[in-house]
Amino acid sequence: MICSNNLNIDKILPLASPAELKTALPLSERQAAKVLADRKTVEDILSGKSDKIMVIAGPCSIHNHDEAIEYAGRLKKLAEKVGDKIFLIMRVYFEKPRTTVGWKGMIYDPDINGSYNIKAGISFARQLLLEIISLGLPVGTEMLDPIIPQYIADTVTWAAIGARTTESQTHRQMASGLSMPVGFKNATDGTVQAALDAIKAAGSHHSFIGITEDGYTGIFRTSGNAFGHIVLRGGDRGPNFAPEHIAFTKVAMQCQGIEPNIIIDCSHANSAKKFELQATAFHDAVKQLSTGDRSIKGMMLESNLCAGNQNISDNLKPGVSITDACINWEETEALITGAYENFKTK
């Protein structure tokens, strides 16, 4: 028989269904209640019912279990100190979009050696998320592969759609069915229109094909996600966190009937990809908040135990990113504590 299909597929390996993984690694009722309560907090911040500011902080990407848990423990202690003003969410990213090629994250290559043991990677991700929730921290992550949410989304408080996928209809449809608030990053060139289109699209009803809990394909019909918002991360034209950028974005959102809810990503192009400059964007956001601009609902920091980044090797330094460079824990704590002290006086 002449075959015309799968000509570039070397191998197809079986993968547990979402239901099978959730049975093996269940979300307890107490954990589920925690996730729902944390999502409600984010929704209240976005709707203006709460005057708290959310800060999503954590490694550019997770690559080590013990280091992630150590970071989570530190962030939890800080969250207890600043919780009346700042809602801390741990950035727990397992998928890395690539412009060309490179390490794609722990879900795809948990052994960091090109073996792509995705079965182990998905289990690793879910187990770690459950552990962090048990510590009392909400988690945020980027939703990249449209199948992955069925495996982990029940644990997630806040989700992001990245700059490279904000224009994707597949991701807009997926976001319309996600159960948590979703932030859409502006395009890599720095323009915001694609993100605004995505917010409107994700807020609408959609029908699309996806994977069910049992691992079959099915037709998903969504009611729309009412809590889409924009994440400004800068672009090819430079940073976009200054007051004039916020003012422009607010007007653009209002003209399209979108609630002007903005998160400032202090990394990426907003820091010229220099981790030392994240503080500049963070301080600017705090200053704008202090002058009464409530369209800024939060900030994001790429932060790790230790500063900088490193190339993948057999001798990785503990606590140092293997993707984008991060600020260290001491600076993270100082920035968040400083913001808290500022907000307390207002």
Residue-level pLDDT at 129: 98
pLDDT < 50: residue spans in the chain: none
Residue 122 contacts by C-beta under 8 Å, 6 or more apart in sequence?
15, 16, 21, 107, 148, 151, 152
Looking at the domain assignment, is residue 15 inside a domain? no
Write down the pLDDT at residue 99. Answer: 63
Domain span at residue 194 reads 29-45+52-344
What is the reported pLDDT for 1? 83
Residue 225 lies in a domain: yes
Count: domains in the chain: 1
User: What's residue 102's pLDDT?
Assistant: 83
User: Would you say residue 6 lies in a domain?
Assistant: no
Q: Does residue 16 form part of some domain?
A: no
At 344 the pLDDT is 87
Tell me whether residue 14 is in a domain.
no
Note the helical H segments in 83-229.
118-134, 149-152, 169-177, 193-202
Compute the distance between CA of residue 223 and CA of residue 228 in angstroms, rounded to an integer. Answer: 13
Mean pLDDT of the chain: 96
Answer yes or no: is 1 within a domain. Answer: no
Asked, for residue 24, whether it belongs to a domain, the answer is: no
Q: Which two tokens stand for residue 259?
A: 């609630």
CATH classification at residue 257: 3.20.20.70
Domain membership of residue 89 (yes or no) is: yes
Where do runs of H (alpha helix) occur along the chain? 18-24, 29-47, 65-82, 118-134, 149-152, 169-177, 193-202, 243-255, 278-290, 329-344
What b/e string do you get for 123-139 counting C-beta neighbours within 10 Å, with b at 16 or more? bbbbebbbebbeeebbb
